[in-house]
Structure 1
């Protein structure tokens, strides 16, 4: 996608308030990928991504910035936690798993695109299968009707959903359950290993028409797409467009006293190092070179500092940005300016039960004040605090709404309503119910 860094930041602004330094850093990194792709091959091979490390408390947008960035350009994206990995030789997840997860994400991304391309043809073929199965069930209704007319009528009814709950019998591929061949590794189907060496077994099963159509559509799509081409494209996308977000990187940083735990954490850092530097990881879709994958590491760094990471790993994250704690003004903007804000989401949820929510400015500011106060007096969980406050605020109306055909009711939420319904939360600090 040919977007300038300014355009990328503008798009991120729709979902994340503030944190301009972090947005600029990821926008430049993304644009540099596009710039690199335009260069001759011999120069392109020499230019590697400038990995980013984000410092900041929880809930300020570190993960969301990376996730939205990947979604913006439809790039394969995985989020992993550094604390989940163990040093080579110990029981637990090995660091190469993050690249296998990235390959899996890339494969699903490419496959979905290819299936969309053949959707019309696959749908027609799936409909033919369902109509044939329906014709067997409905043959007593055929009478003297010509076969073509009878099947055309069935197809029309199928498309209108008239037969969704009718039970039919259909032959489907019998997929064996995938097996985990390596502890902590990806589950791999025997069929994916041996490919077409063995003919896929089929068996007749009974389904509702609605279920059968979904299964038939998936099978017909699989027949129409080129599996080898999908795997090759997935490997290419993972290598050149992939983004790996390593959270809690600060938890594996040593603190200078070199205890046994610090030695173990350093072992994990040294295992991560070759992945970030550039190596080849074998996946079930093919070997993946990590040289051009963009790595974004993040952590709160309350106890440890970036300097507590081993120097070699620090050197692989040359861009360092600090994200700030959220203020009352930030919370107000999160509730009013972001696309699909929390107030919008709750409004849509309750509109299903004919309740229209209207928040005035006083209510928005009071919600923001309460959220900031709770973050200051208990654990600072950033924007996630808004979920707690909103759940508490709308608990009564959410519980009492629904269950009948009631006329539309408008609920005006002002600062007085907020104070009344958040009395327990603000007075008693009763957060046990919403522990995050």
Structure 2
């Protein structure tokens, strides 16, 4: 039985209660309280599991979640924000992209391989951050060795201690100039290591095997990473030397081990469009993207071992969050075994005018805040009145009702059309204070919304 290592997955989010997790999600996603509660409980249960004895913790599997709701209501955003909050490896995949084993296309195990790659990148960045200051110091010393001439031996009548002190003072003066940017115009020659031989994919049999073959690893004597002399500006040379020192200080074997443990104990896989692989009643004939894919996904969700280039990965404790609109198919159209692996089901509510008003203003990354910040870069102060925001929400709701309901994504198309003229004319505007009121919104959008055929293509 593998040893459970809780210390590799502890994060600052471990101290958050479910109520606090929901409060954090509220900063980015409007409404959908039931879905937030479900993911908050799932995240908290991971923290609870880490405090158990290893034998019992091994037996407790995460309760996977099935989110049901139309497009644009926040399914993906809830899962993504949860992963950031938990500092967990997170990957989003579309179920419709996978094909049954034996057919050309991506096999379902690739989602686990992608998750491991993300986990390795995450841990590597953390380790690089830890050694960054030390690497920068060493890189500065190497660069000063290049910039300063080699120290000459002390003359017979010269005090060697005084000579060394003078050399040290000269070196420190150069270090201060280097940090202040006064040496940026200089050019230095350094040895730059060429990149290793590129990796490539192999097409094996009837499917694309994502095998990362690196000839440098296979034939170390042939590809040693040759170095060549290059002239670089001081800032470029310092950046290159810092990166080189960082790579020396980071133990990639340790990074891989930690990443594997983190993925196994804290990884989150979000499977979108799972309704697209649900078999609909009354359909006949083979379909390589439906029931066969469900049966391939089943063992991964149940808990299996997947071979990756970083070793074998157990999926027993990875949290799976599946989502789908289920307009045509129903959750009961999934094979029974897969249904049983998603015991928590939450239905997300369609968004209306009131939710759109809140989405435009309340979240940290609200659309109004985004466009205001973008126009500030041109020196334009963009101000939206409350009436304008309600009118924008009115138009978005109306277009969703008349055409396809794409939820909050409709706000993006409406805002782009509304601010098209200001965005284009922005750099040339004489008046740098622009107020968007309901009259301006009506002027820019009313005719398009009124013409249903036009709104289908433009909004």
Match of 1:185, SS?
A: strand
Task: Name the structure 1 match of 2:412.
Answer: 387
Deviates more, 1:275-284 or 1:151-160: 151-160
Q: Confirm or deny that 1:416 pairs with 2:439.
A: yes
Matches within 5 A, 1:19-418: 19-134=32-147, 151-164=171-184, 167-182=187-202, 183=208, 185=210, 187-191=212-216, 199-262=224-287, 264-402=289-427, 409-418=432-441
User: Equivalents in 2 of 1:349, 1:323: separation in Å?
Assistant: 31
Q: Which residue of 2 aligns with 1:142?
A: none
How far has the Cα of 1:150 moved from its partner? 5.5
Q: Kindly indicate whether the alpha-carbon contact (under 8 Å) linking 2:89 and 2:268 is maintained by their aligned counterparts in 1.
A: yes
8 Å CA contact 1:252, 1:269 repeated in 2: yes
- Are 2:399 and 2:455, in contact at CA under 8 Å, matched by a contact in 1? no
Counterparts of 2:320 and 2:221 in 1: how far apart (Å)? 36
Q: Unpaired segments of 5 or more residues in structure 2? A: 1-13, 150-165, 203-207
Aligned residue pairs, count = 424
Q: Show CA shifts across 1:104-157 (max 9, x none).
A: 111111111111111110111222334445558xxxxxxxxx765565454334
Change (3 A) 1:328 1:18: same
Quick one: distance in 2 between partners of 1:63 and 1:102?
A: 16
Q: 1:71 to 1:362 in 2, by over 3 A?
A: same
Q: Distance in 1 between matches of 2:179 and 2:447?
A: 52
Q: Does the Cα contact within 8 Å between 1:178 and 1:187 map onto a contact in 2?
A: no
Distance 2:456 2:381 in 1: 29
What is the alpha-carbon distance in structure 2 between the residues aligned to residue 13 and residue 22 of structure 1?
Answer: 11
Q: Does the Cα contact within 8 Å between 1:92 and 1:184 map onto a contact in 2?
A: no
Q: Give the RMSD, CA atoms, in angstroms.
A: 2.5
Closer, same or farther: CA 58–175 of 1 in aligned 2, 3 Å: same
Q: 1:168: Cα distance to partner?
A: 3.7
Aligned: 1:17 with 2:30:
yes
- Whether 1:6 aligns to 2:19 is yes
CA separation of 1:135 and 1:337: change in aligned 2, threshold 3 A: same
SS in 1 for 2:59: coil
Higher mean C-alpha deviation, range 63-72 or range 258-267: 258-267
CA distance in 2, matches of 1:374, 1:26: 31
**Equivalent residue of 1:245, what SS?**
strand
Kept after mapping to 1: 8 A contact 2:197/2:223: no
- Alignment-derived partner of residue 143 in structure 1: none
Q: 1:207-245 CA distances to partner (integer Å, 9 max, x unpaired)?
A: 444433333222211111111111110000000000000
Taking a change above 3 Å as real, the CA distance of residues 91 and 390 of structure 1, as seen in their structure-2 partners, is same
Asked whether the 8 Å contact 2:353–2:393 carries over to 1, the reply is yes
- The 8 Å contact of residues 81 and 247 in structure 1, kept in 2 or not, is answered as yes
Report the CA distance between 1:317 and its aligned residue. 0.6
Q: Which runs of 4+ in 1 moved over 6 A?
A: 193-198
- When normalised by structure 1's length, the TM-score is 0.90
Give the whole-Å Cα distance in 2 for the aligned partners of 1:57 and 1:134: 62
- Residue by residue over 1:162-217, the C-alpha shift from the partner in whole angstroms, topping out at 9 and shown as x without a partner, is 45565543222322243234435264544566789975433333444443333322
Distance apart, 1:383 and its partner CA: 1.0
Residue segments in structure 1 that go unaligned for 5+ positions in a row: 137-145
230-239 or 154-163, which moves further after superposition?
A: 154-163
Q: Under a length normalisation based on structure 2, what TM-score does the superposition of the two structures give?
A: 0.86
Name the CA shift for 1:195/1:402 in 2 (closer, same or farther; >3 Å). Answer: farther
In the TM superposition, what is the alpha-carbon distance from 1:281 to its structure 2 partner? Answer: 0.8
